[in-house]
Amino acid sequence: MLETFPNPEPGRDYEITHTAHEFTSLCPITGQPDFATLVVCYVPAERCVELRSLKLYLQGYRQQGVFYEALVNRVLTDLVAALAPRRMEVRGEFSVRGGLSSVVVARHAAGGQPGPGRA
Protein backbone atom coordinates (compact mmCIF):
# COMPACT_ATOMS: atom_id res chain seq x y z
CA MET A 1 0.00 0.00 0.00
CA LEU A 2 1.28 3.45 -0.89
CA GLU A 3 1.69 5.66 2.15
CA THR A 4 1.75 9.44 2.03
CA PHE A 5 2.64 12.40 4.23
CA PRO A 6 1.56 16.06 4.17
CA ASN A 7 3.30 18.27 1.63
CA PRO A 8 5.45 20.69 3.67
CA GLU A 9 4.91 23.45 1.05
CA PRO A 10 1.41 22.93 -0.44
CA GLY A 11 1.20 26.53 -1.69
CA ARG A 12 4.31 26.20 -3.86
CA ASP A 13 4.77 24.37 -7.15
CA TYR A 14 7.93 22.28 -6.92
CA GLU A 15 8.92 19.05 -8.60
CA ILE A 16 9.86 15.76 -6.97
CA THR A 17 11.60 13.02 -8.98
CA HIS A 18 12.07 9.46 -7.75
CA THR A 19 14.13 7.04 -9.88
CA ALA A 20 14.02 3.25 -9.44
CA HIS A 21 17.12 2.04 -11.28
CA GLU A 22 16.56 -1.67 -10.55
CA PHE A 23 12.88 -2.12 -11.43
CA THR A 24 11.89 -5.62 -12.53
CA SER A 25 8.71 -7.33 -13.68
CA LEU A 26 7.97 -10.37 -15.82
CA CYS A 27 7.08 -10.68 -19.49
CA PRO A 28 3.47 -11.90 -19.52
CA ILE A 29 4.15 -14.16 -22.52
CA THR A 30 7.53 -15.75 -21.79
CA GLY A 31 7.79 -15.30 -18.03
CA GLN A 32 11.30 -13.91 -18.52
CA PRO A 33 12.35 -10.95 -16.38
CA ASP A 34 12.05 -7.43 -17.74
CA PHE A 35 14.44 -4.80 -16.39
CA ALA A 36 13.79 -1.08 -16.38
CA THR A 37 14.55 2.27 -14.89
CA LEU A 38 11.26 3.69 -13.66
CA VAL A 39 11.10 7.46 -13.12
CA VAL A 40 8.24 9.12 -11.24
CA CYS A 41 8.18 12.91 -11.46
CA TYR A 42 5.41 14.98 -9.91
CA VAL A 43 4.30 18.33 -8.56
CA PRO A 44 2.57 17.58 -5.26
CA ALA A 45 -0.63 19.17 -4.06
CA GLU A 46 -1.50 18.20 -0.48
CA ARG A 47 0.34 14.84 -0.23
CA CYS A 48 3.78 13.38 -1.00
CA VAL A 49 4.61 9.69 -1.34
CA GLU A 50 6.62 8.03 1.44
CA LEU A 51 9.70 6.42 -0.16
CA ARG A 52 9.75 3.11 1.72
CA SER A 53 6.16 2.43 0.67
CA LEU A 54 6.97 3.40 -2.94
CA LYS A 55 9.93 1.01 -2.94
CA LEU A 56 7.79 -1.85 -1.57
CA TYR A 57 4.99 -1.05 -4.03
CA LEU A 58 7.41 -1.21 -6.98
CA GLN A 59 9.01 -4.43 -5.69
CA GLY A 60 5.54 -5.97 -5.82
CA TYR A 61 5.85 -6.12 -9.61
CA ARG A 62 8.84 -8.51 -9.53
CA GLN A 63 6.65 -11.59 -9.85
CA GLN A 64 3.89 -10.06 -12.00
CA GLY A 65 3.54 -10.69 -15.70
CA VAL A 66 2.61 -7.36 -17.27
CA PHE A 67 3.13 -5.55 -20.57
CA TYR A 68 5.20 -2.35 -20.40
CA GLU A 69 2.30 -0.12 -21.42
CA ALA A 70 -0.08 -1.53 -18.81
CA LEU A 71 2.58 -1.35 -16.13
CA VAL A 72 3.46 2.32 -16.60
CA ASN A 73 -0.20 3.33 -16.78
CA ARG A 74 -1.10 1.25 -13.68
CA VAL A 75 1.71 2.85 -11.65
CA LEU A 76 0.49 6.29 -12.74
CA THR A 77 -3.12 5.46 -11.86
CA ASP A 78 -2.19 4.13 -8.42
CA LEU A 79 0.05 7.09 -7.57
CA VAL A 80 -2.51 9.64 -8.76
CA ALA A 81 -5.17 7.91 -6.62
CA ALA A 82 -2.91 8.05 -3.55
CA LEU A 83 -1.52 11.58 -4.02
CA ALA A 84 -3.88 13.64 -6.20
CA PRO A 85 -0.87 15.60 -7.52
CA ARG A 86 -1.03 18.74 -9.62
CA ARG A 87 0.96 16.98 -12.33
CA MET A 88 2.68 13.62 -12.63
CA GLU A 89 4.67 11.68 -15.17
CA VAL A 90 5.73 8.04 -14.98
CA ARG A 91 8.46 7.00 -17.41
CA GLY A 92 9.51 3.39 -17.93
CA GLU A 93 12.85 2.96 -19.70
CA PHE A 94 12.98 -0.77 -20.43
CA SER A 95 16.26 -2.54 -21.12
CA VAL A 96 17.21 -4.11 -24.42
CA ARG A 97 15.51 -7.40 -25.23
CA GLY A 98 15.94 -9.02 -28.64
CA GLY A 99 17.75 -5.93 -29.92
CA LEU A 100 14.97 -3.49 -28.94
CA SER A 101 14.60 -1.15 -26.00
CA SER A 102 11.35 0.59 -25.14
CA VAL A 103 10.33 3.79 -23.39
CA VAL A 104 6.74 4.24 -22.18
CA VAL A 105 5.58 7.57 -20.71
CA ALA A 106 2.21 8.26 -19.08
CA ARG A 107 1.13 11.69 -17.80
CA HIS A 108 -1.52 13.18 -15.55
CA ALA A 109 -2.53 16.80 -15.00
CA ALA A 110 -5.05 17.81 -12.32
CA GLY A 111 -8.40 18.99 -13.63
CA GLY A 112 -8.08 16.89 -16.79
CA GLN A 113 -5.76 19.38 -18.47
CA PRO A 114 -3.28 17.82 -20.89
CA GLY A 115 0.15 17.25 -19.41
CA PRO A 116 3.38 18.32 -21.09
CA GLY A 117 3.86 16.77 -24.49
CA ARG A 118 0.17 15.99 -25.00
CA ALA A 119 -2.10 17.55 -27.55
Q: Cite the active site residues.
A: 27, 34
Task: In whole angstroms, give the CA distance from residue 62 to residue 43.
Answer: 27
Residue 29: phi, psi to the nearest 5? -95, -50
Whole-number Cα distances in Å, 115 to 46, 47, 58, 90, 118: 19, 19, 23, 12, 6
